[in-house]
Structures are given as C-alpha cells and as structure tokens.
Structure 1
Amino acid sequence: MSEQGARRGQEDDWWRQLYGEDGADGGADAGGGGAAGDAARSGAAPAAGTPSGAGPAHVGPADAADTLDERVASVLRTVGPPGWGDRDRPPPQPTPADAPDRAAPAGDASDRATPPGPAPDRPVPAQPVPDRPAPDRPAPPRGETPTVPVSPAEPPTRRVPVPPPPPSEPIPLKATGPGAPPPAPVVTYIGDRPPTYEAEPAALPAADPAALDELVPDTALEGARYGSLTLRAASQRGDSARYRGEVRRDALLTARFGAGRHALILVAVATGRPAVEGAHRAARDACGWIGSAVGRSCTQLAEDIRADRRGDLKAGLQRLTDRSYGKLRARALERGGPPEQYTAALRCLLLPADPDCRTRVFFGVGAGGLFRLRDGAWTDLEPVATDHGASAPTPATEARPGPGLPHGPGLPHGPGTAEYPVRPEPFLFHAAFARPGDALLLCSTGLAEPLRQEPAFAAHLAAQWSTPEPPGLVPFLATAQVRAKGHAKDRTAVAVWEA
C-alpha cells in the first residue's frame, strides 16, 4: 500500500470511530470500530498492534444511541472547547471576582487542560456519554451554534418587562420656554378692592309689549378703518344699571356719509339725564337728529374741514346743534313733561376719510371727556366754553312754517318757546391736527370721571392702548370696561388711532 493510501485509510478509520459507522451498538458484537472492525467483516486478521475485541476504548459505551443529537454532541466534544457536548454540564462560566463562593464544577480543571482541537498525529479521545435517552427536541439548524442549557446550580435570569414609555405631553399653544414672556395677568378692576356691584349683568330692564323697539342692548360695539385712521367704539351699561335692571342711558351712533375720499364719518355719544323716565329715548333722539342734520350738510362740512375753515365750521355746527336741541324741547312738550328733563349731553366727532386730511373736529354740549394719548401720556383736550349762556331762541314767527307745510328743521314754535333755553349748557368746539401714533379718545361721563380721578386707571388704559397696532374690537372692549370702585355709571368710549 502506498503512503497516500495508508494516510487515507487512517482518516477513514478516524471518521468511522467518530460517527460509529460500525453499527448502533458499536461494540464487539458489531465487530468493533475502525480497522479492526473492517478486518473482522472481511475475515482478515487484524493488523499488527490493533487490539481485538470491543474496538478502541475512546469510542464510548456500547449501548450509546446512534442519533443525530449524539453525533452533534460528539463533534462538539471533539472540536469544541472543553466541556462542549456534555448535556449534564454547560461550558465553564467565568466566576466574578466579588462571588468567591461560586466554585467551578468538578472536572473543569482536567477539561481546561485538554487542548481545544485535535492533534494532527493522534486522535482526540471523545468524552463518555451517559446512558440516558435523547431529549425530545429538534436538532439545531446546520451552521448555527446550539443553545447551551442553564446549569441547575444557577437559576435562569428573570427578564423584567420594560414598561412602555409614557404618552408624550401635549404641545402647548403658546411658548413656555425660558425665553417666553410670562402671560399678562387679566385686569378686571383698578384699586385695592373690587367694586361693590358684580362685574356681569344681573337683571334685564322691564319691557313694554307695545314698545319693544325701545329696548336698548346691554353693550354696543363698532369699528372701522379709513385711510390713516382706525376707529373703535363701545358703549355698555354701568354696574349700577346692571344690578338694578335699568336701561342703558348712553347712546352711540356711528355713521358714514358719502363715499371715497369725500366721505365724512360722524360718531355721536349722548347721555340722558339720570333718574328721569325716558332718559334713554332723549339720548337716542339727540344722536339721531344731529346725525340727520350732519348728513344733509356733509358735502359742505367736508369741504370746510379740508380747507381748515374753523370759523365757518364752528358757526355751522353750532346751528345744527341748536336745531337738534330745539327738537328735543318740542318732543318734551308733546310728551307733557318739562323740557329740561327730556334732554341729553351730546358729544360728536367728525372724521374725514381723505387720507391727506388729518384734521379732526369735535363739537358738543354737556359733560363728557375729550383726551389725546401721545407717547404713552394722556392730555385733556376738553375745550373751554366760549358762549357762557344758551343762544337766544328764535321768535315763533321766524320758525312758523307756511300753511300746509310740515315743520322744518328750524326751532319749534308754540307755548313755552321763550321760557326754556335751546341748549342746557354752552356749546363746545375743538379742531385738532392728528399726528401719526396719536390716539384720540371721546367718552361719556362714566369713563371721563375715572380717567381724570384715578391715576392707576389712566395708566392702565395708556399702557393697553399705546401698542404699535390698534386693538381689535374685543380687546378694546375689555380695556374700556375695566372697573374702578366708586364709578358705576354707563360708559361709552370712542377711540381713533392715527397711522
């Protein structure tokens, strides 16, 4: 036999010994393993130096089961690290330094002394397999490392389930980071204590089924923008009227006459006499009549404002005001009441829509307020009365219309014409030039009194209305209705911002 053939025979003998190809028993009954077994089957004598009988001692017990698991275990015991393939003992685990009471299982020292792989010139003895039935589990797929069972001495590590992450917090509508400004506190009143009455309406005014058109809402709100001006107007019942269920005595009228650059805007605010029946009707009539008079003369008034003819403006507006109060006096006589009761304080603003005209005209009669907000500070623009008395009534013969004609816009005639003045107080007139950034405020007595008497109230309004952009209708109303103790009258505010 050649050297190559002898080497191949040795390799075949090694594989037969490894996999036990001589039979399931692999013992003397099957003829042994390796070359001795082949010789027994062929009838030839065994080779010299080869023991006869049961075959090599390192093959294992004769009753070892020839299964796929046993073959895999045999391969692991042969080519793997020490201890692999032994089902009763896992590979040695490293003992932590802080656990000296963990001793290595018996036999680990001899296993660690065994080289991990077979020597090229001698076979590696296989570890004995105990006589026990193979476990009923499938073999691991080819190419994968089998799972090593956990030693009974060490209980398996318990895996604690990880709780799911908490739901994410909702995204705030406003920035809340370190650089975000803190929210401004809501101011409902000025002073060290709240006013006596409640802030919200409590009772509704009594209604007449036959005169439902005379009902007045609790709050009126209006706004507009023309050219360089922005208008905001609000009128509401005072705390006292809301508590007692009284009607709002303040009346508000906003009207536009004409169109385009020639349009003229009128804002009228009237307040009826306190504790007088029908005072809200007198305030509404005063606004309506002055509005009709200005509307009929809007073209001439707009020309006078653009040309800055203040003398003509004052004379014409005084005449229109006197006619309106004359109608109030006549209405009082028709109702059978004293004319001095059926009247109202009247204050008006004329605002041209022409962006090139910045003249703002104020006129009126009675108590109220006219202020200008410039650079965060208030200036009282209340004009000084020039006529210290009411204008003389026109004789009845001059005001009496011809036969078959209705009463004209002149002063009324009839008994009592010369007994009562046309206007209860002097006529007021003021014309001002508006600068960009200014805010002009026209208001009734209910807002003018706290603005003049309460510095904290005036400072709050100045801070709220000194913004680069004019406020909207709702923020404007919220600022105008801030309360102050001792001031519970109706409030009407008309503000004009100049761009």
Structure 2
Amino acid sequence: MKQQGTGRGHEDDWWRRLYGDGGGAGGGAAGDTGASDAPDTLDDRVASALRALAATGRAAPAPGDAPERPERPGPATGKPPGRTAPPPPPAFPTPPAPIPLQATGPGSRPATPRRPVPPPRGAPADPPPSAPPPDGPEPGPLPAADPAALDELVPDTALDGARYGSLTLRAASRRGDLARHRGDIRRDALLTVRFGSGRHALLLVAVATGPPAGAGAARAARDACAWIGGAVGRSCTRLAEDLRTDQRDALRSGLQRLTDRSYGTLRARAEERGLPPERYPAALRCLLLPADPECRTRVFFGVGPGGLLRLRDGAWQDLEPTAPDHLPRRAAPADPGEPPPAAAGRRTDGTRAPGEPFLFRTAFARPGDMLLLCSAGLAEPLRQDPVFAARLAAEWSLPRPPGLTDFLTAAQLRVEGHPKDRTAVAVWES
C-alpha cells in the first residue's frame, strides 16, 4: 500500500506542476484547488506546462502528443518495471521546443475587418443607376419593403394561361431590366379572369401600367385592373349577350361608361391617399373574349399607350386605334363586317387623364390568327426593331401555341434600349 501511495503521489505531483497554482515545485497543499491570481488564458497554461517540463528535465512533447503518464508500480520492487528514476535536473535547463500556437490573449488577436459605417441620418443616398448592366436579365436586389404594407409588393414575374373552345390564352408580366437593376417594384399589372360558365362564359384580360416615377405606381396599376374587372363582372351577362349578337355600338358605350367609372374611383382613391389625382391613373388596356366557339368577335378597349397587334400568315398587323403613321407597320386589311379602328372623343369631365382618349376596337378571329395585347414596354420594341419583331413572329407562328415557359422566354427577349416592364397577352385561334 505504501508503494502504491508513493506512485500516486508522484503522479499527482506531476499534474500539480502542469496545472498547479504556480506556488513552487511541490504545488499546493492537500485539498488545495490550485486557484491563482495570474491570468488564466490558453497561453498562460501552455507556458506553465513548459516551465514544469523544463524543471523536471523532460523533453517537451511534440504538438498533438499527450503527456506520458507513469505506469503503476510492480509488486516486488515498488519501481515501475523497465523504468529508471529520472535524472537530476541540469543546472541550466534546455529551453523547451517551441509549439506553434495561435495567439489568443489580449492584444494578440488578428485584426478583423471593420464594418462599413452607415452614412449619417439625412445624408443624400447614392443616385440609382440610370441603365441596367448588359450581362443578362437576372434580377438584382429585391424592392424595399414596408412591414406595415407588405401587400404593396408584387412578384418579379406573373404567368397565366387557359384554353376555351377555339382559343388558347397565354399571359405574362415581367419586371423590366432597369427596375430589376435598381430594385424597383414592377409597375405593370396583369389580370386574367373568367365570369360565368360554359358557352356563356366571358373572359377578361386587363393590362395596366402605373405612371412613371410616381408614388404608388404599382398600386395604381393593380387598382385599375381590379376596378375594371369588378365593373365587367357585374355586367358580364349583358356584355356577353351584346358580343353574341354583335351589338358594337352598345358595347362601345357600355365599356366606355365602365372605364370612366373605374377612373373616377381611382381618382377618389388618390385623394384619400394624398396623391395628386392627375398622376394616379394608369394606362389600362383590356380584351373581352367570349368562350362560345361560335362567337369569334374579340373586343379591345382601354386608355393610354400600349399595343394591339395581330399575327397573321407570319406577318404583324398593327390594330392600334391611334397607332402613329410614322411607326413601321403593315396596315391591317379590314375583314368583312369589321369596322375600321377608331377612338372615342375626348372627355372633359376629369374621369380620365387629360388628353387620353377612350380606345375601342373589335376584331374578327380567323383560324391561325394570333392577337397580341401588350404594354408599352413590349409594343415599343415590336414597332421600332424589325429584327426583334421578326424573331417574335417566327417564335409564335408555329403550328401549336407555345407552353407557358416557352411563351415567357420569347416575351422577355432583350432589346437594347428598351428596359421597361413588359406585359404580353396572346390569343391563338384554332
């Protein structure tokens, strides 16, 4: 028992030298916790271990090696078998081998990069870039969000489609390259709805664009679509009957009345929000499409800039009621019973933006035709870039209408100098 206690005392003495209180080679008294007033960092502990090893004449352990613990004493001699007593410490201990460590003590930590200091409150922000980068249509930053008005946000892209009777519908609305680059919200809005069922169903497609650089532009566009959608839905039975019986004059006056009421509501909404009423209305363009396969009359109406085109026999025809004569386009020959394009007289009652006439046109659909309704972001490159127009004509003149993703891919083909939002609604006839 004495021999075993001697071995245990030697082992405890070694560990006291390694993690003791620095009070000498013998360590602290029995029951001592080894506490010390010296700083207790990783560097301090390693230095203490090295001093203890140097005092006993042991070689410093290699990095990663565990300290060698003494074996239990043999039964006969009380000495560890195969071991000899350690030699006396030299007069001048050899400095221990250095151990590579990463400094962790105060004043020795590596410098961390400083975070950018935000500009002082009220300092002018950097002006937004004026042009998108030429390296592709990938979205940039997300638009800024208000936690109390998350319903003001709209997705980067909207996509929809349907098939009724002899018509196939494809619709897409995409944020423009400039808005993507700046992190602005999409100002174009798209609404595709059906009222009624069966042969009496009536499809409405509405495309709206908010005023440029105006507060609440996206909200104005969505409100315009919502209000005209509600007005048409409440009158869908009468409108569907006028379409089937080819009552063009009744359709024109009825749709103009509904549009004026919608714009009047938008102006009232602008006053409630403290916005200038003359800047709140958005460009609004709509298509009425009967689901009855025997009725091939298509009705366009609306206010503001955009495009109404027909793709027939691989060539574009501009059906815009007020299309400027200087734009390159192929004149659309009138079908039997199809009236020439016209615009209603300007109103002065303040229900629409000043100088914006009410637009109305009916078109007769032939098998193989494609009717395109679009916002100004797509109408402008179509009318101004013949190469782009020819490419789209080739993409959309295939025997079968494209799928949703193929339609979106073609609609968002980039054209230099045309970074606006784009919204396109295409109707293929069979």
| Pairwise TM-score range, normalised by the shorter structure | 0.5 to 0.7
Contact (CA 8 Å) 2:195, 2:236: kept in 1 or not?
Answer: yes
Give the secondary structure class of the aligned counterpart of 1:482.
Answer: coil
Calculate percent identity across the aligned residue pairs.
75
1:210-359 to 2 correspondence within 5 Å?
A: 210-359=148-297
- Letter paired with 1:318: Q
Counterpart residue number, 2:413? 482
Counterpart residue number, 2:137? 199
1:458 aligns with 2:366: no
Counterpart residue number, 1:389? 346
**How much has 1:467 moved relative to structure 2?**
0.5
CA distance in 2: counterparts of 1:359 and 1:237, whole angstroms: 31
CA distance in 1: counterparts of 2:264 and 2:158, whole angstroms: 27
**How much has 1:343 moved relative to structure 2?**
1.1
Contact (CA 8 Å) 1:195, 1:484: kept in 2 or not?
Answer: no
Counterpart residue number, 1:472? 403
With over 3 angstroms needed to count, the CA separation of the structure-2 counterparts of 1:473 and 1:202, relative to structure 1, is same
- Letter paired with 1:332: A
CA distance in 1: counterparts of 2:163 and 2:428, whole angstroms: 9
CA distance in 1: counterparts of 2:180 and 2:345, whole angstroms: 36
CA distance in 1: counterparts of 2:135 and 2:187, whole angstroms: 18
**How much has 1:277 moved relative to structure 2?**
1.2
Give the secondary structure class of the aligned counterpart of 1:485.
Answer: coil
1:422 aligns with 2:338: no
- Letter paired with 1:348: C
Which of residues 413, 432, 440 in structure 1 aligns to 2:371? 440
CA distance in 2: counterparts of 1:280 and 1:295, whole angstroms: 23
**How much has 1:195 moved relative to structure 2?**
6.8
- Letter paired with 1:447: L
CA distance in 2: counterparts of 1:208 and 1:297, whole angstroms: 36
Give the secondary structure class of the aligned counterpart of 2:407.
Answer: helix
What TM-score, normalized by structure 1, do the two folds share? 0.55
- Letter paired with 2:314: G
**How much has 1:387 moved relative to structure 2?**
3.4
Q: Which residues of structure 2 form unaligned runs of 5+?
A: 1-131, 323-341
1:494 aligns with 2:409: no
CA distance in 2: counterparts of 1:387 and 1:339, whole angstroms: 23
Give the secondary structure class of the aligned counterpart of 2:279.
Answer: coil
1:317-349 per-residue CA deviation (whole Å, 9 max, x = no partner) reads 000000000001101111122111111000000
1:255-286 per-residue CA deviation (whole Å, 9 max, x = no partner) reads 00000000000000000001011100000000
**How much has 1:197 moved relative to structure 2?**
6.0
Contact (CA 8 Å) 1:195, 1:483: kept in 2 or not?
Answer: no
What TM-score, normalized by structure 2, do the two folds share? 0.64
**How much has 1:196 moved relative to structure 2?**
3.2
- Measured on the aligned residues, the alpha-carbon RMSD in Å equals 1.3
1:142-173 per-residue CA deviation (whole Å, 9 max, x = no partner) reads xxxxxxxxxxxxxxxxxxxxxxxxxxxxxxxx
Give the secondary structure class of the aligned counterpart of 1:484.
Answer: coil
CA distance in 2: counterparts of 1:443 and 1:498, whole angstroms: 18
Contact (CA 8 Å) 2:215, 2:275: kept in 1 or not?
Answer: no
- Number of aligned positions between the proteins: 279
CA distance in 2: counterparts of 1:370 and 1:286, whole angstroms: 19
**How much has 1:423 moved relative to structure 2?**
4.0
Counterpart residue number, 2:14? none
CA distance in 2: counterparts of 1:423 and 1:268, whole angstroms: 18
- Letter paired with 1:422: R
Give the secondary structure class of the aligned counterpart of 1:333.
Answer: helix
Counterpart residue number, 2:36? none
Contact (CA 8 Å) 1:227, 1:355: kept in 2 or not?
Answer: yes
**How much has 1:227 moved relative to structure 2?**
0.0
1:366 aligns with 2:304: yes
**How much has 1:444 moved relative to structure 2?**
0.1
**How much has 1:386 moved relative to structure 2?**
3.1
CA distance in 1: counterparts of 2:375 and 2:426, whole angstroms: 12
Give the secondary structure class of the aligned counterpart of 2:428.
Answer: strand
CA distance in 2: counterparts of 1:421 and 1:298, whole angstroms: 22
Contact (CA 8 Å) 2:133, 2:181: kept in 1 or not?
Answer: no
CA distance in 1: counterparts of 2:352 and 2:284, whole angstroms: 13
**How much has 1:213 moved relative to structure 2?**
1.4
- Letter paired with 2:413: V
With over 3 angstroms needed to count, the CA separation of the structure-2 counterparts of 1:383 and 1:331, relative to structure 1, is same
